[in-house]
Amino acid sequence: MTSRAWIKFFITTLLVGGVATGVIGFVVRWDEFSHLFTNFDALEILSVLFWLFGVGLIFSIISQMGFFAYLTVHRFGLGIFKSHQLWNAVQIVLVLFVLFDLVYFRYKAFADAGDSILPYLGLAGFVLIAGVVIAALKVSTTNKHAFVPALFFMVVVTTIEWVPVLRVNEESWLWLMVLPLIICNAYQLLVLPKYNAESARQRERLEAKKSSV
């Protein structure tokens, strides 16, 4: 990717994260912010929106760090296992392992005696369903071999990025972070080919200019 395309990719992903968190923040923390709309305090609404937008920028940066780390890990994995099939099998195992951890260890750490495990299963199930949907969209825009890597990224990498809030286990923050992360991760995964194509066109134009001199 050229530096110009990367900067555009970076900025648009930042905006996606900021806007998504601004909207989602009011929804998931409605009990906390609803009085601002009841009494319609415009200044306070804007200040909260600005704060949520800033938090979203942080989430977006975390998402982008995870995405570029995964691209490195993916190439590293292909280099080690020498086969897409074997590397895909390893990724599937890791997806299952992370989902198990997301349920079992959170339940052991935070559940009180007699608490149901269903909310913990539901959270992991939501991440899995989101991952499957985004992976299916990725396949529809590329090829069938993209499904497992996309699912791995959407489940495993999203969960790793989510760890700081998972350790706190505050419900509103769980959703406030994971939803923008999923949106940012999905955006990067789905639009990357567009920016790669744009980079290729920029290189072609540069080469054409050089050859014409």
Domain ranges, ordered by start, for the chain: 3-212
- Which pLDDT tens digit goes with each residue over 146-163? 999 999 999 999 999 999
Q: Average pLDDT in the 197-212 region?
A: 73
Q: Are 183 and 16 in contact (CB under 8 A)?
A: yes
Q: Are 23 and 30 in contact (CB under 8 A)?
A: no
The span from the CA of 5 to the CA of 191, in Å, is 12
- Which pLDDT tens digit goes with each residue over 104-134? 999 998 988 888 899 899 999 999 999 999 9
> Is residue 212 very low, low, confident or very high in pLDDT (cuts 50, 70, 90)?
low
